[in-house]
């Protein structure tokens, strides 16, 4: 399924944070969303993921309108996201969080929820550890509370949580910001791997240009709430306007 977002506009008081933003993402494609601070990148992601309700616009996902749906409904449609800052959870372990990601995704009817009261998910643990935690190098901390991990590993847990739900549309908000370059590369590789494995569409907001260049198939540049450029990674670096507002002259 492809995502077609058009005319997405959201205002906070007098500030137009996102202005008639449009973006198409095809299945199996990783689109990078870059731009200076305050350009509206995260706000746009928040509109798509049900955190904000935009004042106008639409986001069609295989014929379904995503805007106006709650995060829980979006997850059941296969739309998952990660967060720039990872929330604090005291009681849950890394594996717990991955299991949560899997359990909120399942769309159950006809008493499936009733079954969930009694089913142990021990069987799921091995599969999740192997397919989700191992590629993100989280196996050794699977049974540790997330609070004890470094910032980088917590972000990896957040990604693991999103991936555990087998997403078809993955929205990543600065997945490698604040990570060491080794962690960042592992994260970028994990994103590419999951794209190859699930064939999902990915939108990635990121500032680290080396990661963006090596990971994304296409790049959109935002500034002051609007899209100012869209094209292949190589073309972005050559564009004079993008250099002026974001990348800077060499």
Partner 1 sequence: MTLALQLAVAGLATGSVYALIAIGVVLIFKCSGVVNFAQGAYAMVGAYVSYVLLRTGLPAIVAVLGSMAVLAVFGTLTERLVLRPMLKAPLVAVMMVTLGLLIVSRAACLIVWGPDQIAFPKVFPEGAISAAGIFITYNYVAAGVLALVLSLGFLAFYQFTPIGLQQRCAADNTRAALAIGIHVSNQVSLAWAMSAALAGLAGTLLATLNGLSLDLAGIGMIAFPVIVVGGLSSLAGALIAGLLLGMLQSFTDGLLTPALEEFLREHTSIYSVGALQQVVPYALLVLMLLFRPQGLFGRRGTERV
List contacts with partner 1 (CB under 8 A).
Answer: 51, 70-72, 74-75, 80, 83, 87-92, 96-97, 99-101, 103-106, 113, 116-122, 161, 165
Query: Closest distance between partner 1 and the C-beta of residue 210, in Å?
Result: 29
CB nearer partner 1, residue 125 or residue 217: 125
Min separation Cβ 96 and partner 1, Å: 6
Shortest gap between Cβ of 128 and partner 1 (angstroms)? Answer: 12
Q: Which residues neighbour 238 within 8 Å (Cβ) at sequence distance 6 or greater?
A: none
What DSSP designation does 141 have?
A: G
We find the least distance from the C-beta atom of residue 148 to partner 1, in angstroms, to be 15
Report the Cα–Cα distance between both ends of the chain, in Å, rounded: 39
Burial zone of 163 (CB within 10 Å; 0-12 exposed, 13-18 middle, 19+ buried): buried
| Cross-strand bridge partners of residue 32 | 204, 219
Closer to partner 1 by CB, 168 or 215: give it: 168
* C-beta closer to partner 1: residue 79 or 236: 79
C-alpha distances out from residue 57 to 40, 41, 68, 74, 80, Å: 15, 16, 11, 17, 20
C-beta of 91 vs 249, nearer to partner 1? 91
Pick between residue 19 and residue 168 the one whose CB is nearest to partner 1.
168
Q: What's the DSSP call for residue 129?
A: I
State in angstroms the smallest separation of the CB of 248 from partner 1: 34
């Amino acid at each position: 399924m492809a995502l077609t977002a058009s005319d997405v506009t959201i205002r906070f008081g007098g500030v137009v944070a996102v202005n008639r933003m449009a973006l198409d993402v095809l299945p199996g494609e990783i689109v990078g969303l870059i731009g200076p601070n305050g350009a509206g990148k995260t706000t746009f992601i928040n509109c798509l993921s049900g955190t904000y309700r935009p004042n106008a616009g639409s986001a069609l996902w295989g014929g379904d309108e995503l805007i106006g749906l709650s995060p829980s409904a979006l997850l059941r449609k296969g739309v998952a996201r990660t967060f720039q800052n990872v929330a604090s959870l005291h009681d849950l372990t890394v594996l717990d969080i991955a299991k949560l990601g899997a359990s909120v995704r399942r769309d159950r009817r006809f008493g499936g929820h009733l079954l969930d009261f009694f089913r142990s998910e021990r069987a799921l643990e091995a599969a999740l550890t192997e397919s989700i935690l191992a590629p993100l190098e989280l196996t050794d901390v699977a049974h540790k509370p997330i609070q004890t991990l470094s910032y980088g590993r917590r972000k990896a847990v957040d990604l693991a949580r999103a991936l555990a739900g087998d997403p078809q549309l993955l929205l990543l908000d600065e997945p490698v910001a604040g990570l060491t370059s080794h962690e960042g590369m592992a994260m970028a590789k994990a994103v590419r791997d999951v794209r190859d494995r699930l064939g999902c569409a990915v939108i990635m907001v990121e500032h680290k240009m080396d990661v963006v260049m090596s990971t994304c198939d296409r790049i959109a540049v935002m500034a002051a709430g609007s899209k100012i450029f869209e094209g292949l990674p190589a073309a972005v670096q050559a564009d004079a306007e993008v250099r002026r507002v974001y990348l800077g002259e060499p």
